[in-house]
């Protein structure tokens, strides 16, 4: 076909670089229920090529066990070529009155660094008063 030229994207080209650089950006830092009490995990993602590390928070009411959450997200982050490691868990009480309380631990993964968790939550729930995002290292 005259005038039709297939587009060739060379590895290392701009398009390729953009794709590689945005792997981490494709994964939201936080995905939790908007209301209720539920299990959560803290997961560390690593991009082996760039060495970048990102910690994400995931919490869902449907999860009977903390491991259920990891089982759900593992294939998605693996598809992006990211390595993952659960660094702990606990529970979150999220109220529509714009308050979040993080506490407890995971039998499977141990207690997450709840201080790190609330720092991540504060960055993502900027319309909540900072003092309404709290944690306690006690409780199950």
Q: In whole angstroms, how far apart are CA 53 and each of 3, 29, 43, 56?
A: 45, 12, 10, 10
CB atoms within 10 A of CB 26: 12
Indicate which residue of 1, 16, 66, 94 is catalytic.
66
DSSP string covering 40-79, please?
EEEEEEE-TTT--EEEEEEEETT-SSHHHHHHHHHHHHHH
Active site residue 1: no
Query: Binding site annotation covers 49?
Result: no
Residues at the binding site for substrate are: 39
Residues at the binding site are: 39
Task: Just list the catalytic residues.
Answer: 66
């Amino acid at each position: 076909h005259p005038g039709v030229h297939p587009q060739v994207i060379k590895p290392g080209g701009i398009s390729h670089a953009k794709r590689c650089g945005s792997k981490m950006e494709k994964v939201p830092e936080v995905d939790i229920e908007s209301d209720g009490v539920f299990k959560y995990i803290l997961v560390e993602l690593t991009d082996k090529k760039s060495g970048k590390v990102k910690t994400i928070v995931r919490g869902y009411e449907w999860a009977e066990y903390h491991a259920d959450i990891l089982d759900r997200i593992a294939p998605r982050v693996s598809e992006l070529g990211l390595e993952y490691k659960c660094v702990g868990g606990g529970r979150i009480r999220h109220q529509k009155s714009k308050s979040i309380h993080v506490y407890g631990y995971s039998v499977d993964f141990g207690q997450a660094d709840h201080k790190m968790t609330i720092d991540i939550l504060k960055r993502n729930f900027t319309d909540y008063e900072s003092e309404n995002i709290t944690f306690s290292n006690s409780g199950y």
